């Protein structure tokens, strides 16, 4: 029976049903990816003649078996959360920031130099000033690939990876020269580390643990980044650029500017991760300051759905994996390469599951749209 145009205009538009199945699939896919990685890891442990049940039990006990182990998972989660916040901003603008390692180094270098240079300042002034300077240093490290992409359309993956290498070599140079610990030089050890930072710049800790106040700062920043991305005009434009650069361009949004801005902000948060590692955990700059946080933070952000609030539990989960894996390595006596392989496998499967779930969600959206069009 043909439709009446007069009555069709009065008929309310059919609302698409909420895709609960797609939502559950997207939420479950990273969890299933971790479970698959653990199963493959169990096979690898068996090949090395290690008991996987004992290994994984040790892993869980390392995190939940003591208060110190639990706090260590939060210590590891703090830089992951900060790096991941920058990843959320960059990925929401459809740019890939692989330069977290170099940006962490930039922030740590600046925090070390600044706090040693102004060691006479009181803590109430020195701590926030050091954090701001570290954020700016990391932001500058992210701004370089950002402006290269905006002005010359240089691939940000290549440029951020190259900035990682430059940052690493710069740190190695400074820790063998201007920033080397003078006490080590006097003792003839020449350990590649900086002088100990002044005590007034140290972040407060829970006694008998390494858990510092930087964890609280990171959580507060996660809430602020959520407000920034979903409750401000700049955040809306960043997300619009990520959803459709072409549509954003026709809407008058300067796409290259917001892509460069997102990389700059991502660098700033990674630089802040370097700051809290230096002033909260080590109290000096060490060669291994990044501990792979720049790469693991990407996986934590993807696991959290590229949402600042979802990133909070995701960062704790991966921080727990890092602590538990270290305990497993020492207790079961498996090679460190196995632990690295297991974590790398988790990274690969989580990213793969995210790509797969997004493609499936897009296909389901198209199918639902076709069904609605057929019934209209």
Q: What is the DSSP string of 289-301?
A: -STTHHHHHHHHH
The total of other beta-carbon atoms located within 10 Å of residue 103's CB is 35
Residue 122 has a pLDDT of 96
Q: Which long-range contacts (CB under 8 A, 24 or more apart) does 216-222 make?
A: 217/276, 218/78, 218/81, 218/82, 218/85, 218/276, 219/81, 219/312, 221/82, 221/85, 221/269, 221/272, 222/81, 222/85, 222/308, 222/309, 222/311, 222/312
Percent of the chain topping pLDDT 90: 59
> Using CA atoms, how far apart are residues 181 and 87, in angstroms rounded to an integer?
33
Q: How confident is the model at residue 71 (pLDDT cuts 50, 70, 90)?
A: very high
Task: Locate 48 and state its tokens.
Answer: 């090395």
**182-163-305 Cα angle (round to 5):** 110
Residue with tokens 């006990």: 61
Task: Locate 209 and state its tokens.
Answer: 């643990």
Range among 56-65, 158-167, 172-181, 362-371 with highest mean pLDDT value: 158-167
Least confident of 114-118, 265-269, 291-295, 354-358: 354-358
Question: Is residue 91 assigned to a domain?
Answer: yes
Question: Is residue 372 assigned to a domain?
Answer: no
Question: Is residue 323 assigned to a domain?
Answer: yes
CA quadruple 347, 348, 354, 357: dihedral, nearest 10:
-140
Question: Is residue 359 assigned to a domain?
Answer: no
Helices (H) and strands (E) in the chain, counts: 15, 0
Mean pLDDT of the chain: 87
* Top-confidence residue, 30 or 38: 38
Least confident of 47-51, 72-76, 103-107, 130-134: 47-51
Question: Is residue 87 assigned to a domain?
Answer: yes
Q: How confident is the model at residue 10 (pLDDT cuts 50, 70, 90)?
A: very low
Mean pLDDT of 230-235: 96
Q: What is the DSSP string of 254-268?
A: -HHHHHHHHHHHHHH
**Enclosing domain of residue 135:** 73-333
Percent of the chain topping pLDDT 70: 91
Mean pLDDT of 14-27: 58
Among candidates 358, 148, 107, which has minimal Cα distance to 259? 148
Q: How confident is the model at residue 265 (pLDDT cuts 50, 70, 90)?
A: very high
Question: Is residue 249 assigned to a domain?
Answer: yes
Among candidates 192, 170, 168, which has minimal Cα distance to 181? 192
Query: Residue 297: is its pLDDT beyond 80?
Result: yes
Question: Is residue 104 assigned to a domain?
Answer: yes
Task: Locate 125 and state its tokens.
Answer: 């002034």
pLDDT tens digits along 352-372? 777 777 677 677 777 777 777
Q: What is the DSSP string of 18-78?
A: P-HHHHHHHHHHHHHHHHHHHHHHHHHHHHTT--HHHHHHHHHHHHHSSHHHHHHHHHHHH
Tell me the C-alpha to C-alpha distance, in Å, between residue 354 and each of 4, 68, 94, 162, 222. Answer: 45, 33, 15, 26, 21
Mean pLDDT of 313-329: 89
> Using CA atoms, how far apart are residues 166 and 140, in angstroms rounded to an integer?
13
Count of domains for the chain: 1
Residue 7 has a pLDDT of 47
Q: How confident is the model at residue 247 (pLDDT cuts 50, 70, 90)?
A: very high
Residue 269 has a pLDDT of 98
- Sign of the CA dihedral 107, 108, 109, 110? positive
Question: Is residue 329 assigned to a domain?
Answer: yes
Residue 192 has a pLDDT of 87
pLDDT tens digits along 94-153? 999 999 999 999 999 999 999 999 999 999 999 999 999 999 999 999 999 999 999 999
Least confident of 43-57, 230-244, 323-337: 323-337
């Amino acid at each position: 029976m043909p439709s009446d145009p007069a009555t069709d205009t009065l008929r309310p538009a059919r609302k698409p049903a909420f895709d609960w199945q797609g939502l559950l699939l997207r939420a479950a896919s990273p969890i299933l990816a971790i479970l698959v990685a653990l199963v493959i890891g169990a096979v690898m442990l068996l090949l090395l003649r290690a008991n996987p049940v004992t290994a994984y039990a040790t892993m869980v006990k390392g995190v939940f078996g003591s208060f110190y182990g639990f706090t260590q998972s939060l210590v590891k989660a703090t830089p992951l959360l900060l790096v991941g916040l920058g990843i959320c901003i960059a990925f929401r603008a459809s740019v890939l920031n692989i330069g977290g390692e170099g940006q962490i180094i930039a922030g740590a270098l600046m925090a070390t130099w600044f706090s040693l240079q102004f060691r006479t300042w009181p803590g109430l002034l020195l701590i926030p000033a050091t954090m701001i300077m570290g954020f700016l240093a990391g932001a500058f490290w992210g701004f370089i690939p950002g402006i290269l992409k905006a002005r010359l359309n240089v691939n940000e993956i290549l440029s951020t990876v190259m900035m990682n290498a430059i940052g690493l070599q710069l740190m190695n140079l400074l820790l063998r020269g201007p920033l080397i610990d003078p006490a080590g030089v006097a003792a003839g050890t020449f350990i590649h580390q900086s002088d100990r930072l002044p005590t007034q710049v140290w972040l407060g800790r829970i006694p008998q643990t390494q858990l510092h106040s930087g964890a609280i700062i990171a959580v507060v920043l996660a809430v602020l980044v959520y407000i920034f991305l979903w409750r401000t005009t700049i955040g809306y434009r960043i997300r619009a650029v990520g959803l459709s650069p072409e549509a954003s361009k026709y809407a008058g949004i300067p796409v290259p500017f917001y892509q460069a801005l997102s990389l700059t902000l991502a660098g700033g948060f990674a630089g802040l991760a370097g700051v809290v590692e230096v002033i909260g955990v080590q109290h000096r700059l060490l060669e291994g300051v990044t501990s792979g946080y720049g790469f693991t933070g990407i996986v934590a952000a993807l696991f959290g759905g590229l949402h600042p609030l979802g990133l909070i539990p995701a960062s704790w989960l991966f921080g727990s994996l890092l602590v538990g894996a270290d305990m497993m390595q020492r207790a079961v006596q498996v090679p460190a390469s196995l632990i690295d392989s297991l974590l790398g496998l988790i990274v690969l499967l989580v990213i793969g599951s995210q790509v797969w779930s997004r493609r499936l969600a897009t296909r389901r959206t198209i199918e639902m749209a076709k069904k609605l069009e057929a019934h209209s």
